[in-house]
Amino acid sequence: MISFLVVLSATFAVACFQDKFVYSDQESPVKLTSQSVKFLFFNSSGVGEPHAVTDVKYLTNEDYDNRKKTVVFIHGFADYYPGSFMIPLLVQAYSSLGNRNIVAVEWGDLAAAPFYLSAAKNTFPVGKILAKFFNSMVKRKHHSMKMTEIIGFSLGAHVAGIASSFLVSKPKRIVGLDPAEVLFAESPLEYILDKEDAPLVEIIHTSGGFLGFKRPLGHRDFYPNGGLFPQPGCPGDISGLCSHRRAYQYFAEAVKNRGWGFKATKCDSMKNYTSGKCSGCPKLLMSNSNYNPALNGTFFLFTNSQPPFGRK
């Protein structure tokens, strides 16, 4: 039912509103309030319920430690916490690495189905609120953006890109998990995630040209199984959602296994990758967060169709 609504609202929005898509307008059926965007601080062990705050002043020493690295997750359309599949998966993956502040941005009311157009527009205010929160963290908690990574799925990827323009300093890395293309294909760079938004912007494409972007947006763009839909193990994926969600499933597994099984090869196309023309080209593990500017461009890999997705 949800997937049907998603497709319906996305199609409807494209068909009827594309020309009138003005980002500054607020036509959300849900009013933006100080409670609309919550920052969920998870225990670094990944155990227990998160502490939801809307203001830095409510943070406790249990929630946050400014000596640790910080990872921030942003969900996409029709998602929320505690209903999310993505947030617990990423919390679990990063808690297994240990020693991190783990934060999820909850904007479920503003991203609610079936209002895709509203959700798409709300990426802008949500990005600003995210930036305001972290600017306040920098000021009041001596938070380091250089030790911060932001990971956004679908519309959440654009929230990260928008936030970046309003942050006093850029995060170390932004990962865009299949950034949403519906209504964003022709957007100016200020409204989407792009490589100006952080020193390292990485993208994982899993429903390219359909729900997600096909063209490269980052310094490094990964195309598992070619990056298009349907992804392996997603037969009859008419809505594209199974393929779209593969982005966070692959990424979570890659993070947990420190890239094991997700070795990607630099190549200009899936065709050349498949035919072995790039076999001598540089390799990169998909979750590797080290920034080597020379190792940029488009990267291809195969995955399994079921978990574990990583291949030997």
What secondary structure, in 3-state letters, does the chain show?
Answer: CHHHHHHHHHHHHHHHHHHHCCCCCCCCCCCCCCCCCEEEEECCCCCCCCEEECCHHHCCCCCCCCCCEEEEEECCCCCCCCCCCHHHHHHHHHHHHCCEEEEEEECHHHHCCCCHHHHHHHHHHHHHHHHHHHHHHHHHHCCCHHHEEEEEECHHHHHHHHHHHHCCCCCCEEEEECCECCCCCCCCHHHCCCCCCCCEEEEECCCECCCECCCCCCCEEEEECCCECCCCCCCCCCCCHHHHHHHHHHHHHHHHCCCCCCEEEECCCHHHHHCCCCCCCCEEECCCCCCCCCCCEEEEECCCCCCCCCCC
Piece in contact with ligand NAG (CB under 6 A), picked from 18-26, 32-40, 42-50, 247-255: 42-50
Does position 219 interact with ligand NAG (CB under 6 A)? The reply is yes
Does position 271 interact with ligand NAG (CB under 6 A)? The reply is yes
Does position 165 interact with ligand NAG (CB under 6 A)? The reply is no
Q: Compare residues 10 and 217 and give the one whose CB is closer to ligand NAG.
A: 217
Q: Compare residues 32 and 147 and give the one whose CB is closer to ligand NAG.
A: 147
Does position 47 interact with ligand NAG (CB under 6 A)? The reply is yes
Give min distance, CB of 38 to ligand NAG, in A: 19
Give min distance, CB of 275 to ligand NAG, in A: 8
Give min distance, CB of 199 to ligand NAG, in A: 11
Does position 293 interact with ligand NAG (CB under 6 A)? The reply is yes
Does position 296 interact with ligand NAG (CB under 6 A)? The reply is yes
Catalytic residue (choose from 154, 164, 239, 287)? 154
Give min distance, CB of 59 to ligand NAG, in A: 15
Does position 288 interact with ligand NAG (CB under 6 A)? The reply is no
Distances (CA, A) of 48 to 39, 42, 94, 123, 159: 16, 8, 15, 28, 27
154 is catalytic: yes
Catalytic residue (choose from 178, 194, 221, 237)? 178
Q: Compare residues 8 and 281 and give the one whose CB is closer to ligand NAG.
A: 281
Piece in contact with ligand NAG (CB under 6 A), picked from 11-19, 24-32, 33-41, 45-53: 45-53
Does position 272 interact with ligand NAG (CB under 6 A)? The reply is yes
The interface with ligand NAG within residues 50-89 (CB under 6 A) comprises none
- 293: tokens are 């500017």
The 51-53 sheet, strands edge to edge: 51-53, 38-42, 100-106, 69-74, 148-153, 173-177, 200-204, 220-224, 297-301, 263-266, 283-285
Does position 268 interact with ligand NAG (CB under 6 A)? The reply is yes
Q: Compare residues 3 and 43 and give the one whose CB is closer to ligand NAG.
A: 43
244 is catalytic: yes
Q: Compare residues 201 and 242 and give the one whose CB is closer to ligand NAG.
A: 201
Q: Compare residues 1 and 47 and give the one whose CB is closer to ligand NAG.
A: 47
β-partners of residue 298 are 221
Residues at the interface with ligand NAG (CB under 6 A):
43-45, 47-48, 195, 219, 268-269, 271-272, 277, 293, 296-297
What residues are annotated to the active site?
154, 178, 244
